Amino acid sequence: MLDLHRLRLLREVHVRGTLHAAAGALGYSPSAISQHLAVLEREAGAPLLERVGRRVRLTDAGHVLVRHADLLLEGVEAAEAEVAAVAAGRLTGTVRISAFQSAFLRIVAPAVGVLADSHPGIRVEATETEVELAVPALRLQQLDVLVGDEYDGQPRVVHPELERQPVLREAINVVLPAGHPRASATHVDLANLADLRWAACQPGTGHHEMHLRACREIGRFEPDLRYTSDDFAILLELVRTTGAGALLPDLAVGSVAPGVAVRPLRSSHLGREVFLLTRRARTPTVAAVARTLGVVGREAAGSPTPPAGS
């Protein structure tokens, strides 16, 4: 009989890539992880892992077990939640949400308030995490719902075991100092801003890549990126105080931002999609939370707000 706990450890090692990373995520020592997996190999009757440099990867038998582990662990999770709901006569349990900063402010925080009234038996735990870091935790059942973003032309990795639900689509706006000569224009042609210095998120982020691509493909110039921060509120302040420009999505800017002008780009449909990710085997409790996040997100798409983070 295969042990579910050891199957969970195998899946964690598969996602993390090393015994040390899996041990750190689960609070085990690497030697304890190794011992558990050695027992699992004896139970399975086949080698499950092989070393590749400093990392480990699954053997064919290991892949088979991880695939079935996903189904078994999701089934146990769903059964526990449904039994709890039946016993309580209402939706109960803990749902763990992760979101990037502006979605946390505009979508998750209001949704928590709505859920407190509509489903008081649900305990919501929410944390701010970027998509790249949150996906492994969602796949490993350390999170239940992920609010993510995807800029046009920069598709995220597709995970077959996760279900994606679109929430809203945002336009990308150009943000200029209020005193800039083009701040009064109805629409701004990016090609006319080649001499502007810019503020954007850190290299390696989706926003940074989007900014470079927009300037090169739409504006036909190499941007002078002088200031970087992963907090959109800081980028807005840099625009206001340094005379820089920024390219920011709707959730990150309000209809009125002191000292800056928010203008749409001319002849550009550049944008990003905000979406939810959940495991396909969703419990009724997780499904209720996801529905509420979707409703609040669609409402947020049409309502102005003060400046938010990234």
pLDDT, tens digit, 9 for 90 and up, residues 50-68: 877 778 787 888 787 777 7
Q: Where are the domains of the chain?
A: 4-73, 89-168+272-300, 170-270
pLDDT at 172 > cutoff 50 = yes
Has domain 4-73 been given CATH number 3.40.50.1360?
no
CA-closest candidate to residue 214, choices 200, 229, 234: 200
pLDDT confidence band for 16 (50 / 70 / 90): confident
**What integer pLDDT is reported at residue 53 of this predicted model?**
77
Q: Between β-strands 49-52 and 224-228, what pairing exists: parallel, antiparallel or unpaired? A: unpaired
Q: DSSP strand E in the chain: where?
A: 49-52, 55-58, 93-99, 122-128, 145-151, 162-177, 197-200, 224-228, 246-249, 260-264, 271-279
Q: Residue 215: what are its φ and ψ, rounded to 5°?
A: -65, -40
- Per the rule left: phi > 0, alpha: psi between -120 and 50, beta: everything else, 239 is alpha
Say how far apart CA 183 and CA 170 lie, in whole Å. Answer: 21
Tell me the CATH number of domain 89-168+272-300, given options 3.40.190.10, 3.30.565.10, 3.10.420.10, 3.30.70.20: 3.40.190.10
The answer to whether the 4-73 and 89-168+272-300 domains have the same CATH topology is no
Helix (H) or strand (E) holding 40: helix 30-44
**Left (φ > 0), alpha (ψ -120 to 50) or beta: where does 154 sit?**
beta
Q: Which of these ranges, 96-100, 182-186, 226-230, 303-307, has the smallest mean pLDDT?
A: 303-307
Residue 251: pLDDT above 60? yes
pLDDT greater than 90 at residue 228: yes
Strand partners, 247: 174
Helix%, strand%, coil% for the chain, nearest 5: 45, 25, 30
Helices 4-16 & 30-44 angle (0-180, nearest 10): 120
> What is the domain class of 170-270 according to CATH?
alpha beta
